[in-house]
Amino acid sequence: VFCVCVCPFVLIVFAMEVQRRSKLVRFLLSKDQKYLLSTFASPSACLGVFQLCLSFVAKHIVLRCLYLPDEHTDSINDMKLWFNSSAEARVEGAVELLSSLCILESVQGDNVNEVNYKLRKSFKRHLIQSYKGTGVAPEEEKPLANPLSFGEVQSTCESAWESVLYYMLCPYNDSVTDGSFDAVEANLKKSGLLDVREDFDNALYMTPLGFQFLLQHRRTQIWFYILSFLHEVELLGERSETILQLIFTLALAKPGACVSMGGTKLQKKVSKHLSKIGLCVRVKSDKVLYPSHLALALLNEDALAGDDKDKGCLIIETNFRVYAYTQSELVTNLLQLFSKLMYRLPTMGVAMITRESVRSALSQGITSRQILHFLKVHCSDRMVPQPNSVYSPIPTTVSDQIILWEQETDRFKKKNGVLYRNIDPKYYHDLVAFAIKEKMCIWKDEERHAFIATTDGTALIKKHYAVLKQSKISSS
């Protein structure tokens, strides 16, 4: 008998991956057939959608059909034979997803009620091309006037993305960015990460969604921003297919390679915006883009391995004291979201995790899981592992207490309601029965002839009470 053990932390990371994938899938499913077919005109987009949006079963179906003749079709019952009998429901779901994404094309079968499927020719041709290439030798490239190394691109883009995060923490600090950051600021506001406080001279402030965003995984952050950016572009009346194709092209490029910037006005505008958030470095003289490790991480999470210079900078003690050995203002400010900074030295900072600081973070929408994930990712390798803890090497006294502080906030749930009391006993039971039937009753006390109902049901309850009184008067 073989026993397979899966670490709960791995399950948490997998859940984050599924959540990110589902957002991209929902975005594509909201588009019409014309949009999807236009997107699949790019081999990079076909491969990107194949890797990111499809489940294991859906990928298997695509690969089984990839090199079959164009006229060959299979019914859903044929596809079920490719898998174990327990996976029939997953096969049906995969076929439905592939059809909705315009990857599979339905064809009338031999029987009237039978529907067969085949890979759409355009997707099939471009997916094969992304794997095998065109088979045509590329033209000799002209030497670039300003070539950049991957190390230079990586450091430049890392600073650019940190500027975005630091701007969210300090949107009132004009020294963080220059005037060319307006497009990024507009997208942060449209995506709900920042908002304007009208009662304080239209000052910017970070929303609860923004607080959650800051403590999420880097890859999740970038995909959230990209999908928000695509949505904003469409609201302006532009087509976002070319943008999605460019993003997948950057994500599939080799480290250190460059990608053509494109000649259209939209492509130039988008490439400038992507360079502001650190997905690429734009070289206007050569009209090329150098994709960064952040762009490569959109499809391959391993691209982020070893890129964080502040990874492993935290030492967490059992007395809830945190030592941050870093000069990064961003890490220090992120730490202050859920801890109290005691003092700051040139190369390190010392903070204390307290009940008040954690509850303050929870009130901003941050969860205990996000706090512990941030601490775990930045923990030093010198910390002693906790064998029975999901969040090892964080001391169990710290991780358990943070979770308990979050559970304290779940003791009470607030609901707005209206108290009705001193009700005539002959009307009380009928009135409460009506409130329960309409799902407006929050609480009741039969001994005191009182109950609490939702605020939006006040008018209905008053109307029903008047009807009850009138019926009693009529009957008497």
What pLDDT, on the 0 to 100 scale, is given for residue 119? 92
The pTM score is 0.74
Cα–Cα distance for residue pair 313/323, rounded to 1 Å: 8
Regions of the chain short of the pLDDT cut 50: 1-20, 139-140
Neighbours of 279 (CB within 10 A): 28
Phi, psi for 390 (deg, rounded to 5): -65, -35
- For residue 393, is the peptide bond before it cis, meaning its omega torsion is within 30 degrees of 0? yes
What pLDDT, on the 0 to 100 scale, is given for residue 57? 92
What pLDDT, on the 0 to 100 scale, is given for residue 377? 83
What pLDDT, on the 0 to 100 scale, is given for residue 174? 58
